[in-house]
Amino acid sequence: MPEGIIVKALSGYYYVSPLREGEIASVDEPVQCRARGIFKKRGQSPLVGDRVVYSLTENGEGTVDEIGPRESELIRPPVANVQLAVLLFSIREPDLNLQLLDKFLVHIEHAGLETLIVLTKRDLAEDEEEGTALVKRLYEEIGYEVLVTSSRTGDGSEELRRKLEGRVSVFAGQSGVGKSSMLNRIVPGLTLETSEISLRLGRGRHTTRHVELMDIGGGGYVADTPGFSQLDFLELGVEELSSCFREFISYSEECKFRGCTHTHEPGCRVVEAVENGEIADSRYQHYKLFFNEMKDKKRRY
């Protein structure tokens, strides 16, 4: 039986693009499939990004018969086998929001995905090159890769395109960062409308309610989604939070008390590292903010 990858899920149908020698043949002609009832009995649900075995029916449609092993799985948005999370944040219009960036990074770390931070709209912040460089250096020192781009001038767009080749990525970030403009820049002939793929946090004008893989060429696919619609930490335990701040990990192993929360305990190496300038104060303040937010939610629930 043929193998394929689910590139869209909508209204109970799964649109499967055939695989040829392990690669997607075409996302332009997917087979419209229903899932076998056995998945519901098992408590399984096919996801966009799943590699599947399917069979063709007489009416030209198909049936998803088997779901392959998943390398990764996101809950919001519901998509499987994503390898790279691209976090887009603008330098200006809107101004760069490091608290929100750190919140996204916590979720991506928890999901175990590779991360690429993309700072957009460089052309609007030529007078803030020094501040942009400081932010870039801050996150690079933590261990993240950072690109500074402009869809208007094309700065960084070719490098971003190369980063997306050969894997499935998901885009997320601030509202109004220019995701559609950047994708239109790196994919010739693509004409995405901003209002259709707005990267909003929480309620917004985003009308897309389904997940879809978008072919960007070079074997790369971007999960075009409503975004991470709610970053409420419901899937994350408060005891897991510090491990999602990757620069805390080596210091936390040397804390005096096992299970140190890095908020008030004596002999906390993380707090000491902050005081010594080895951990950025902004990151630590955001950690405490998220920690208290999670504790408050736990009390309410």
Which fold, 238-300?
Ribonucleotide Reductase Protein R1; domain 1 (1.10.40)
Tell me the CA distances in angstroms from 61 to 17, 20, 30, 55, 66, one per residue in order: 12, 19, 10, 9, 16
* CATH class given for the domain over 79-224: alpha beta
Residue written as tokens 């990990």? Answer: 249
Name the DSSP letter for residue 292.
H
Q: Binding site for GTP: residue ranges?
A: 120-123, 173-181
Q: Binding site: residue ranges?
A: 120-123, 173-181, 255, 260, 262, 268
User: Is the peptide bond prior to 94 cis by the omega test (within 30 degrees of 0)?
Assistant: yes
Q: What is the pLDDT of residue 247?
A: 98
Tell me how far apart the alpha carbons of residues 187 and 171 are, in angstroms, rounded to a whole number: 15
Tell me how far apart the alpha carbons of residues 63 and 42 are, in angstroms, rounded to a whole number: 17
Domain boundaries of the chain, sorted by first residue: 3-69, 79-224, 238-300
What does the angle CA 24 – CA 26 – CA 32 come to, to the nearest 5 degrees? 100
Q: Which residues contact 267 (CB under 8 A, 6 or more apart)?
A: 255, 256, 257
Contact 102, 285 (CB under 8 A): no
Q: What is the pLDDT of residue 29?
A: 81
Is CATH 3.90.180.10 the classification given to domain 3-69?
no
pLDDT tens for the chain, 301 residues long, are 899 999 999 989 999 998 876 566 555 589 999 999 999 899 899 999 999 999 999 888 999 999 999 998 887 778 899 999 999 999 988 889 999 999 999 989 998 899 999 999 888 887 788 889 999 999 999 999 999 998 888 899 999 999 999 899 988 877 788 777 888 888 877 766 654 333 333 333 444 457 888 888 888 888 866 545 445 666 788 999 999 999 999 999 999 999 999 999 999 999 999 999 999 999 999 999 999 999 887 666 5
Q: What is the pLDDT of residue 214?
A: 85
Q: What is the pLDDT of residue 174?
A: 72
User: What pTM value is reported for the model?
Assistant: 0.85
Q: What is the pLDDT of residue 199?
A: 36
Q: Binding site for Zn(2+): residue ranges?
A: 255, 260, 262, 268
Other beta carbons less than 10 A from residue 296's beta carbon: 10
Q: What is the DSSP string of 153-185?
A: T-TTHHHHHHHHTTSEEEEEESTTS-HHHHHHH
Tell me how far apart the alpha carbons of residues 151 and 250 are, in angstroms, rounded to a whole number: 38
